[in-house]
Chains A and B, each alone.
Chain A
Amino acid sequence: MTVSAIQIRDLSKTFGGGRSLLGKARHEVRAVKSVSLDVARGETLAVVGESGSGKSTLARMLVGLEAPTAGSLLIGGKDAGALRREGPRAFGKMIQYVFQDPVASLNPRKTIRDILETPLKLLCGYEAARRAVRMKELLDAVQMPEDTLARYPHEFSGGQAQRIAIARVLAAEAEIIVLDEPVSALDVSVQAQVLLLLRDLKTRFGLTYLFISHDLAVVEAISDRVAVMYFGEVVEMAPAARLFANPGHAYTQRLVASAPCIRRE
């Protein structure tokens, strides 16, 4: 626990802005406003908030898909910008990303073998024989049958596709994984299974999760700490059990109150 897995200080992202050719100010959206947070190694930090609260932008900045406008970003103790300059290999082996829509994150015209092979080849630099062994291990880890490799993404259901996407992320052998609403597109029973899988993988491989979701109950089940985002700012951060039992910020209170629950009486 000496070095935190992710350390964010005053991170901001502004879209648009600046001036147009004629000197007119362009419309500017401040998606993330000066966010600071730490994720310890082996911890699951959840980020909750409504659509448009900036949580996905935060996640995309973490994995280098967006460049921050201001602020610092340390991943595994190293500056993210410096890490990126070392090449995609250094970066990709440090942090990986699971997308919300599993089917859209798999190229429809590639077999699962092609998809899984890419990180093994480019990030880990394994030769063919080692790759074949590793792919079997990965499919095993996400509980998918071996004949998966020869098939195309459209042949799988949402839950299966999300397992494959998780296998691809594991292939990179990164210790930090950013999960952007990984279960919100799935049916409840599939969602429960994927959550179970995520928990097992975490203990097995010693992973660190940054888990983004809008579903408080899911967040409570899987995370150690929760950060609540509201209009681009982290308004509250606390251990999961405490936050939901005793929400401090008005927005968190509203979130907790409107979460649907099953009324049995």
Chain B
Amino acid sequence: MSAVAEASAPKAPRRITSWHLLLNNRLATAGLVLLGLVALMILLVPILPLPDPDVTAPADRLKPLFTAGHLLGTDQLGRDILSRLLWGTRVSVAVGFAATLIAAFVGSAIGIVAGYAGGRTDNAMMRGIDMLMAFPYILLALAIVAALGPGLMNALYAIAVVNIPFFARNVRGVTLGYVHREFVDAARLSGKGNLSIILTEVLPNVLPVIVITMSTTAGWMILETAGLSFLGLGAQPPQADLGSMLGEGRAQLFTAPHVSIVPGVMIFLIVISLNVLGDGVRDVLDPRLRSGALARPGPVTDVASGRAVPANAAADAALSIACLETGFQRGSKIVPAVRGVSLYVKPGECLGLIGESGSGKSVTALSVMGLVASPPGLIRNGAVYLGNEDVLAMPETRLIASRGSRVAYVFQDPLTTLHPMYPVGRQVEEAIAAHQSIGAAACRERAVALLEKVGIPEARERAKHYPHQLSGGQRQRVGIAMALANDPDVIIADEPTTALDVTVQARILELLRDLQRERGMALLFITHDFGVVSEICDRVAVMKDGEIVETGETRAVLANPQHAYTKRLIACVPELGTGERFLERVTGLFAGGKEQAS
């Protein structure tokens, strides 16, 4: 029992936070407390003043609950139920946990070796595991016990063997994900052998999964122990164990229900508390859940109720952001990501928003349509004007209806934004149908026309293809087609060419520029590359640490940057034709503050 509790606190530097996280989860805490009580009781059984659990007293048989001297009454042979319950729990829990440990050790070893070795070894080992899984587990346990003979130890082996596949499959899956990671290759190049890599590189990463699987299967194993004992294959009389108590009490279910209800309640309590604790442990150990993925974000970013609403400074702009402040909730504090950003884009204009990672440019873009995940995102101040209407003051349904129809997004990696299971044509149709009620055939025609428009050859054929069948550049073209589907006033492109090769990037930029000029759309183009900005943007806003430090006509800013940060950004872009002079140029920039700059 303590194994689970200990395992829930990982290594030293994060112990406190993990404990706090676990204790924040009320259900898990309840499970922990309950388990702690049960553990305490069964540890203290030998010194508690309890009658011998195996001594029969036929005269005192089937005494009800709360009889003097027998707090939980007696069973059909007059044995004290409280005493038998505690001794029996001790046996059941010990067997359950021992089986968990054995299954975890053997199963994880098989899984990690199979996942690491791959190829034939993997195949042979996993087919063996498949054979184990092919039998219904209780049947397999019965067969093992039948072969080895009834008895507690044999039941333990049977349960352990039956549960090995759980661990093997889980651990193999996770191991596979790590084996091809770069740090494993790096360790190999550092001179580590296979065994050393398995034990010191892969195992520490897989360990959380093993612990999680253990904590979720321990309850299950206790249940199985009880099941086998109930069938008379586990603990042999007169030894008490929860399952055998249940089995023996079954005959008296109508005359003296407490004989079977008491061990039943105990099993229920142990298993339920193990399960809720296991869930809690999983949440604590899983880094994805830790970062807040567990909280389901709302459809619209939260807006602080008392926010300042500045007036629209650029009335003729298609999109105007005024003093926007967006932050993220971390505990009770709010970490600001965007601090008072104001910008505008006029129809037919392209504004470049440039900055390095972490400068808040993407959060600014997502705030426009309330797409920052909330919690933890919060718009604290400012306004976003579409035409003359404040987006942040719109009712939820109207805001959601505006997404895609008035403001559309193009994201960085089209492979992650396109649905892998639908043909691309259907996804474009979906984008059209979300805002326009037209017939299916007309919709299909429009989708094909759009795909043609963005320069996909043989669009009608291509529409039937899945995203993985298209090249990166073509996928991004599909992304652009979806953004164009409803003739939006504003397109926000968030690093749309960063994932692409230079030759493809040049063509996508060309396409975006042509489309924008032709349709008179406003384009907010987010990038970290001044080279791209100079290709496509009319004006540029330079962002640093959540603030806009400089803004102006692209040519003016490039020719004569005012802010030191802009100068540095421009100087750091290597250009063809500069050659080795580039490094001499940047040497001067970082001569003073190497440490601080990295």
What 1/0 mask marks residues of chain A from 224 to 247 whose CB sits below 8 Å from any chain B CB? Answer: 000000000000000011001100
Complexed CA–CA distance, A260 and B185 (Å): 33
Q: A106-B183, A262-B534 are in contact. Are A88 and B192 (CB under 8 A)?
A: yes
What 1/0 mask marks residues of chain B from 560 to 595 whose CB sits below 8 Å from any chain A CB? Answer: 000000001111111111111011001101100011
Residue of A nearest to B571 (CB): A192
Residues of B within 8 A of A65 (CB): 185, 188-189
Selected contact of B595 from candidates A63, A99, A145, A255, CB within 8 Å: A145
- Let me know if B558 is at the binding interface, CB within 8 A: yes
Q: A104-B183, A105-B183, A122-B191 are in contact. Are A187 and B576 (CB under 8 A)?
A: no
How many chain A residues touch B (CB < 8 A): the figure is 69
Complexed CA–CA distance, A215 and B507 (Å): 16
Residues of A within 8 A of B534 (CB): 260-264
Task: Tell me what chain B mostly uses at the interface: helix, strand, loop, or mixed.
Answer: helix
A window 82-131: CB within 8 A of B: 88-89, 92, 96-97, 99-101, 104-110, 118-119, 122-123
Selected contact of B204 from candidates A110, A143, A165, CB within 8 Å: A110
Q: Are A261 and B579 in contact (CB under 8 A)?
A: no
Q: A143-B598, A262-B534, A262-B558 are in contact. Are A256 and B576 (CB under 8 A)?
A: yes
Q: Are A193 and B357 in contact (CB under 8 A)?
A: no
A window 162-197: CB within 8 A of B: 163, 165, 168, 172, 187-193, 195-196
Selected contact of B183 from candidates A107, A123, A254, CB within 8 Å: A107
Complexed CA–CA distance, A55 and B532 (Å): 25
Q: Are B505 and A158 in contact (CB under 8 A)?
A: no
The number of residue pairs between A and B whose CB atoms lie closer than 8 Å in the complex comes to: 191
Residue of A nearest to B574 (CB): A217
Q: Are B188 and A88 in contact (CB under 8 A)?
A: yes
Residues of B within 8 A of A21 (CB): none
Complexed CA–CA distance, A214 and B503 (Å): 10
Selected contact of A195 from candidates B181, B192, B356, B583, CB within 8 Å: B583
- Let me know if B469 is at the binding interface, CB within 8 A: no
Q: Are B191 and A92 in contact (CB under 8 A)?
A: yes
Q: Are A217 and B575 in contact (CB under 8 A)?
A: yes
Interface stretch (choices B250-258, B304-312, B335-343, B523-531)? B523-531
Residues of B within 8 A of A254 (CB): 503
Q: A104-B181, A188-B529 are in contact. Are A216 and B204 (CB under 8 A)?
A: no
Complexed CA–CA distance, A159 and B358 (Å): 13
Selected contact of B182 from candidates A89, A99, A257, CB within 8 Å: A99
Q: Which residues of A pack against B, CB within 8 Å?
A: 50-51, 63-65, 88-89, 92, 96-97, 99-101, 104-110, 118-119, 122-123, 143, 145, 152, 157-160, 163, 165, 168, 172, 187-193, 195-196, 199, 214-218, 220-222, 240-241, 244-245, 254-265
